[in-house]
Each structure stands twice: as structure tokens, then as C-alpha cells.
């Protein structure tokens, strides 16, 4: 095996989307799947169904009702770890080391509500603080982290570039594309000099989206999407990137998530 396929996907309930996970595996044959919003505590997670797809190694950080992240792998983990930020145990980040030296960080950054004001909207304040907390940790530990081979992926709930949204000007005051969110995500991006894997293969100014609102029944026709789902790698993994793919057909399936999977192929 010369490379592995990694998928990140906000599944929006693993139990509802098990058939779609099977379809994804049949069509794309991923080796590692990072899921966000699994919406299942450990007792309710479909371990047997997931293992039947070949993922015998599962790192799960789940809580009742909402959030939750999981890393599904066909290959053993050297170690896995749950992470909490801004003092909340809300199941938004889990990491696992595979192939001895690649640390995969699966992260679900808070959505932030509808009002882009941290004083009026505590959910938005949480989102900004979450990004600051992770960025500060990476900055403070940069000497020990900068040589680590790290992949940071997940639903970041921020579309940072004007080509990551269908209309830059119209969305400047809409949560997920406001300048203050973009600034915070940029700080996180710069904290370990990450490389945006998707943009290596879908270069600017190409429009690239991974999310389309459920409120938009004509999403394919008007294509009013946003790129909220990301795969970043540290510079020492850049030359090991072989491809990236936005798996849009998953949005066309019955009972889809509003996010589509994003996949990267990476040399081992």
C-alpha cells in the first residue's frame, strides 16, 4: 500500500446516514473516515455496522443528542486522544496517529448561530473563542509540533475565501463568512503553517463548495453553496498529497447530509 484515502464528512447523524456511509465506501473505498456530528453516545454508536465496512479501528468522542466526532480506520491507531477546548466537554475534537507518524485531528468547529455578534450571540462568541483557543495552543507548542506530520480536517463552519461562497458580498454579514470568523480561522491556519489540501487541486479562483442548505430545494440549479469542510496538512505532508475530491453526488441521495464528503489521497 503506497497511499491512503482519507475522507472528512459532517454526517449529520451516523445512525440516519449508515446507508450513505455504505454507498460512500462502495464508490470511493476510503481507508480512514473522519465524521462530525455523529449525534450518538458510545452506547448508541453502530459499531458492528461500521466494522462490517472494514473499519475495525474506531476512535469516538460522543455525547448524547448532538455533536460528536469519530475516526474510522482500516488500519490500527498508534494512539488516540479526545480534546476539549474553551473549557467545554462538547465532543468536537478527536485525534489518532496512524502509520506510526501521521496524526489525524478531526475537528468540528461550532456553527455560531445566526447573529454575527459575540455580545448578542453567545454561540458566536463560543465559535470565535474555540478557534482562538486551538490556535493559541498550536502557537504556544509550535517548537514541539512543527516537525510533526499532522492532518487537521473536519467541518470548520467557516468559508474563508471569497471563492468558497456563492456570493462574497452578500455573505459578508452572514455567519460562516464574516471577516471576524475568517480572521480567526486564518490565525489557526497560520499557527502551524498549514497547507489547504483542497486548494492545491482546486486552485483559486475556482468556486468550490461542500455544503448546501436544506432550505434550498434547487441547490443544484442555483449552486448557492459554501466550502465549510476542510483538509489541512502541515508543510511536511504537502509533497505527499496525491489528490483531493469533493464528493458532490452524496448530496443527491435520499435523506442526505447538507454537507458532502471531502477526500484526499496521501502517500504513506
**What pLDDT digit, counting tens, does each position of 172-192 carry?**
999 999 999 999 999 999 999
- Whether residue 157 contacts residue 131, with contact meaning beta carbons closer than 8 Å, is answered with no
Q: Are strands 149-155 and 195-196 parallel, antiparallel or unpaired?
A: unpaired
Predicted pLDDT of residue 100: 80
CATH code of the domain occupying 3-267 = 3.60.10.10
Query: Residue 146's pLDDT is what?
Result: 86
Q: What is the pLDDT of residue 65?
A: 84
pTM exceeding 0.85: yes
Low-confidence ranges of the chain (pLDDT < 70): none
Closest CA to 237 of 190, 196, 205, 207: 196
CA distances (Å), origin 22, targets 40, 109, 168, 185? 18, 26, 35, 32
Domain boundaries, the chain: 3-267
Find out whether 148 and 234 touch, Cβ atoms under 8 Å. Answer: yes
Nearest to 185, CA basis, from 144, 138, 141:
138
pLDDT, residue 150, reads 97
C-alpha cell at 224: 448557492
Q: Mind listing the pLDDT tens digit for each residue in 110-119?
A: 999 999 999 9
Q: At what angle do helices 179-191 and 122-140 cross, to 10 degrees?
A: 20
CA distances from 32 to 40, 72, 74, 84, 159 (A): 19, 5, 7, 22, 24
What is each CA distance from 82 to 62, 111, 213, 252, in whole angstroms?
10, 20, 30, 33
Residue 144, C-beta contacts closer than 8 angstroms, at least 6 positions apart: none
Distance from chain centroid for Cα 42? 20
- At residue 211, the pLDDT reads 98
- Whether residue 184 is preceded by a cis peptide bond, meaning omega within 30 degrees of 0, is no
Amino acid at each position: 500500500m503506497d497511499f491512503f484515502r482519507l475522507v472528512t464528512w459532517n454526517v449529520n447523524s451516523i445512525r440516519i446516514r449508515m446507508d450513505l456511509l455504505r454507498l460512500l465506501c462502495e464508490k470511493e473505498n476510503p481507508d480512514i473516515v473522519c465524521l462530525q456530528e455523529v449525534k450518538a453516545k458510545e452506547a448508541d454508536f453502530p459499531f458492528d455496522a461500521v466494522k462490517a465496512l472494514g473499519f475495525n479501528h474506531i476512535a469516538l468522542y460522543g455525547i448524547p443528542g448532538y455533536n460528536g466526532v469519530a475516526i474510522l480506520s482500516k488500519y490500527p491507531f498508534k494512539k488516540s486522544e479526545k480534546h476539549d477546548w474553551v473549557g467545554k466537554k462538547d465532543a468536537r475534537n478527536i485525534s489518532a496517529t496512524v502509520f506510526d507518524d501521521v496524526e489525524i485531528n478531526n475537528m468540528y468547529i461550532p456553527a455560531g448561530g445566526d447573529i454575527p455578534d459575540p455580545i448578542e450571540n453567545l454561540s458566536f462568541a463560543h465559535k470565535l473563542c474555540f478557534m482562538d483557543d486551538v490556535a493559541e495552543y498550536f502557537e504556544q507548542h509550535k517548537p514541539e509540533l512543527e516537525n510533526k506530520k499532522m492532518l487537521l480536517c473536519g467541518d470548520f463552519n467557516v468559508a474563508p475565501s471569497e471563492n468558497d461562497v456563492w456570493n462574497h458580498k452578500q455573505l459578508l454579514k452572514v455567519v460562516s463568512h464574516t471577516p471576524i470568523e475568517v480572521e480567526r480561522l486564518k490565525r489557526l491556519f497560520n499557527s502551524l503553517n498549514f497547507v489547504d489540501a483542497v486548494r492545491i487541486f482546486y486552485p483559486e479562483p475556482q468556486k468550490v463548495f461542500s455544503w448546501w442548505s436544506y432550505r434550498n430545494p434547487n441547490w443544484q440549479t442555483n449552486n448557492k453553496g459554501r466550502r465549510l469542510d476542510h483538509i489541512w496538512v502541515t508543510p511536511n505532508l504537502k509533497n505527499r498529497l496525491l489528490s483531493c475530491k469533493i464528493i458532490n453526488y452524496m448530496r443527491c441521495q435520499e435523506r442526505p447530509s447538507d454537507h458532502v464528503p471531502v477526500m484526499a489521497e496521501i502517500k504513506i
